[in-house]
């Protein structure tokens, strides 16, 4: 199948009430784990690459790997730019064959975030590429700040409504207590806030930083309008643990015997998340 865009994937998810997993890739084994996991679950899937992944692997390698994988399978999948930092990066990705992009202006003042997002949306839509934007900042778990300070970064429902109307973005990433990386304690998502956002914003919502969020909270978030869920850290941990297991317990030096088990371990994470998100058998 050719790659589709997040528009097709997330509108169906929105109508049917589940979330599509967006998994970050940096190399071939991670991508294979994502695609094979989705195929075994008969699920739609989003392969996500950040600017860092592009710098590491090369934009053409990423695009060709994912297009090749898609051509060999029968599930709908997309190639998505995660956390696009600026207009130029987004344009490069669209030219390279990414079928969906994110522009992350969440670090900017509201009006500047609106202006940047709007500019990206106007161009991306002319070539049929949907745009994810972010409002409210995700504070890293490593940032030493109080709960009140953290809440100041959360997405404001009224602002979210205005933001979506003014930018015409297709999907909105929200900040409701989620953070990238490994959570120090139990993450506490602000479900009332999510509900308020969902009531006034009528596009699919996105949850970043989903590694480490308890299963029940993920299910609840999905019921409250989250249709795309991003996972990176749990794949990295599975990779690290599997490589460590082989390298520390044997003299193996064949990369295939080191990376193969890591690929299998990441595939299990992908499958487990897909089932949790409710997107199994939704291909």
Catalytic residue positions, numbered? 82
Among 80, 118, 193, 208, binds ligand 13P (CB under 6 A): 208
3-class SS of residue 263:
helix
Say whether residue 132 binds ligand 13P (CB under 6 A). no
To the nearest whole angstrom, how small is the minimum distance from the Cβ of residue 253 to ligand 13P?
Answer: 30
Size of the site for ligand 13P (CB under 6 A): 14
How many Cα neighbours within 13 Å face the side chain of 99?
A: 19
Fill in the per-residue mask, 71 to 110: x = in contact with ligand 13P (CB under 6 A), - = not in contact: -----------xx---------------------------
Interface with ligand 13P, residue 230, by CB under 6 A: yes
Helices (H), the chain: 6-16, 28-41, 51-57, 59-71, 87-96, 110-126, 147-151, 157-167, 191-200, 215-223, 233-249, 255-277
Binding residue (CB under 6 A) for ligand 13P from 14, 89, 117, 211: 211
Tell me, residue by residue from 167 to 186, as one string, x for binding to ligand 13P by CB under 6 A and - for no binding: -------------xx-----
Query: Phi and psi for 48 in degrees, rounded to 5?
Result: -110, 140
Locate 101 and state its tokens. 């992009």
- In angstroms, rounded to a whole number, what is the distance separating the alpha carbons of residues 9 and 70? 14
Burial class, 70, CB count within 10 angstroms (exposed 0-12 / middle 13-18 / buried 19+): buried
Residues 18-57 that bind ligand 13P (CB under 6 A): 24
Please say which residue, 18 or 183, places its beta carbon nearer to ligand 13P: 183
For ligand 13P, which residue of 37, 136, 209, 278 counts as binding (CB under 6 A)?
209
Alpha carbons 253 and 260: distance in angstroms, whole number: 12
| List of residues contacting ligand 13P (CB under 6 A) | 24, 82-83, 180-181, 208-211, 230-234
């Amino acid at each position: 199948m050719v790659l589709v865009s997040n528009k097709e994937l997330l509108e169906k998810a929105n109508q049917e009430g589940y979330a599509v997993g967006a998994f970050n890739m940096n190399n071939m084994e991670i991508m294979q784990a994502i695609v094979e996991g989705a195929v075994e679950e008969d699920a739609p899937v989003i392969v996500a690459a950040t600017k860092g992944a592009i710098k590491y692997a090369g934009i053409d390698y990423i695009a060709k790997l994912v297009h090749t994988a898609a051509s060999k399978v029968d599930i709908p999948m997309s190639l998505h730019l995660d956390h696009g930092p600026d207009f130029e990066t987004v344009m490069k990705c669209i030219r390279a064959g990414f079928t969906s992009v994110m522009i992350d202006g969440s670090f900017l003042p509201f009006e500047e975030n609106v202006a940047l997002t709007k500019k990206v949306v106007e161009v991306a839509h002319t070539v049929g590429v949907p745009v994810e934007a972010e409002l409210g900042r995700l504070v890293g778990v490593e940032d030493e700040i109080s709960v009140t300070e953290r809440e100041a970064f959360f997405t404001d429902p009224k602002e979210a409504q205005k933001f979506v109307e003014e930018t015409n973005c297709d999907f909105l990433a929200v900040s409701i207590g989620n953070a990238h990386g490994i959570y120090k304690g139990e993450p506490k998502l602000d479900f009332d806030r999510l509900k308020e956002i969902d009531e006034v914003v009528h596009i699919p919502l996105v949850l970043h930083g989903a590694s480490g969020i308890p299963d029940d909270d993920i299910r609840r978030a999905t019921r409250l309008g989250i249709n795309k869920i991003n996972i990176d850290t749990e794949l990295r941990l599975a990779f690290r643990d599997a490589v460590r297991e082989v390298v520390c317990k044997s003299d193996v030096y064949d990369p295939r015997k080191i990376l193969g088990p890591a690929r299998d371990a990441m595939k299990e994470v992908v499958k487990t998340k897909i089932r949790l998100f409710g997107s199994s058998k939704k291909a």
